[in-house]
Amino acid sequence: MTSGSPSPPATIRGIEPNPYEAPKEAGEATVHFGLRTLLVILSVQLPLTWLAFRSAAWVAILAIVTIATWISFWPERRFRREIAERKSLDDAQFFNEFYADSDVRSDIPLRLRPIYCKFFEIEVGKLRPHDRPPEIVELDMVDLIQDIETEFGVTISDKDAERIDGSFDSIARYLAERAHSASG
């Protein structure tokens, strides 16, 4: 072979050369990425990739926390919105509409409503007997029970407190039952 002509493709250990590859000229260098080249590329690329990933991860975490918080307060927001849309009832209207045909004396809702509404930050006139604020699960009911005990002159045992589901009606009916059993 002459020095100016291309060298024939070499076969290495029985592997045929790529027929689509142009034959190399004698002395032409083949580009190979060595370990050092790979390390240089990675040392520049990885920190940039890591920063982009970390920023995206923080944005994703923040988005998830925000959505989870918003969802967790959904029942309370719905409850507050429902209360805001209600017609306000005075004490007489409240008793006549919900307790007139029951064993609950008229003084019980009259005295209980302000205590219950203050504890849950509800407008007194918009409270209804079936109301059970969603945050009742998270709150320590000890203060509410102590205020009720003070107002009505009763002691509510832990066993009785567990029977009360937290709704206004369950408390009113419990107090009516206690008053009924005490009087006769």
Map out the domains of the chain as residue ranges: 35-72, 88-183
15-65: pLDDT as tens digits: 555 555 555 555 554 445 566 666 666 666 667 666 667 777 777 777 787
Contact yes or no for 124/111 (Cβ under 8 A)? no
95-150: pLDDT as tens digits: 999 999 999 999 999 999 999 999 988 999 999 999 888 766 666 788 889 999 99
Question: What is the reported pTM?
Answer: 0.60
Query: What does the pLDDT read at residue 108?
Result: 95
Q: Give the span between the Cα atoms of 17 and 40, in whole angstroms.
A: 31
User: CB-based contacts of 97: which residues, under 8 Å, 6+ apart?
Assistant: 89
Helix segments in the chain, DSSP class H:
35-72, 74-84, 91-98, 107-120, 142-152, 158-163, 168-183
Query: What does the pLDDT read at residue 90?
Result: 95
What are 13's two structure tokens? 């250990």
The class (CATH top level) of 88-183 is: mainly alpha
